Amino acid sequence: MQIPPQQSVPELDAPGDPKAVTYSPDGRSRPGPGTFSVTAPDHTRITALDMACAPRCAVAVASDGSTATARLRPGRWTYANPVTIRLQANLDAPLSRAQYTGTYTAGGESQPLTVVITQGKQGGLGLTSKDAPDSNGAQVATTVPGGPADNVGIRVGDTITSLNNTPVSNAAELRAARIGKIRSGATVPLTYRQPNGTSRTVQVTLT
C-alpha cells in the first residue's frame, strides 16, 4: 500500500507566487521514526513545508529550496494530518509550458510531486547586434537607454561572446541563445568584450 497521491497539480507562473500541493493522510500507524522528505521538481523551489505537527516535529527547508525534510519524535506514529508543500517556479524555467516532477516521501513510501510551469513571456536584452568583424561574437549596434544591456554597462561597439553560458560567435547565435529559451525577468550571465580587448561577465535581467 502506498501513501495517497497529491490532491491536484498546480500551475505555476514564472515569475509568480508560490502555490500549494497537498497530500492527504491515510490514517495508518507506523513504527518510528516518522520521517518525511521532499525533492522539488526541476525549475522550482520549496518555500514551505506545512506539517500540522508542531511542536512534535522538526522541519527544515534547504536554503536553495531544492529539498525539505521533517522528522517526528521517536516512537510509533500515525499519518493523521495532511501535508502541504508550497512551491514557487524559478525564473530559469524554460519559456515553453511544461510539466516537472519531484518526489514526496513519507515513512519510506513515495509519490510523485508534479507541477506545471506556464508559458512565459520572451525576454529581451534591449539591443540590436551585427556580426563582429572578426567573426568572434555579436557586436552591439544599438542599445535601448535604461534597457537591460544599458543597465549593466554594455555599450555600442562591445561584442557579446556568451549568453546564459551559451557561446556566441555571431548575431544569429545571440538570437538563438535567447529566443524561446529565456523568460522576461530571468537573470543570466552575459560575457562581452570591449573595444580595448577587455572581457567582462555581468548578470543581466531580461525584460
> Per residue in 16-50, pLDDT tens?
999 999 999 999 999 988 899 999 999 999 999 99
**Residue spans of alpha helices (H) in 102-204:** 148-151, 171-178
> Per residue in 98-117, pLDDT tens?
999 999 999 999 999 999 99
> Per residue in 63-98, pLDDT tens?
999 999 999 988 899 999 999 999 999 998 999 999
> Per residue in 124-134, pLDDT tens?
999 999 999 99
Q: Which fold has domain 11-117?
A: Immunoglobulin-like (2.60.40)
Domain 11-117 shares a fold with domain 127-205: no
DSSP string, 147-191: SHHHHTT--TT-EEEEETTEE--SHHHHHHHHTTT-BTT-EEEEE
Mean pLDDT value across the chain: 95
Q: How is the chain split into domains, by residue range?
A: 11-117, 127-205
Class of the domain covering 127-205: mainly beta
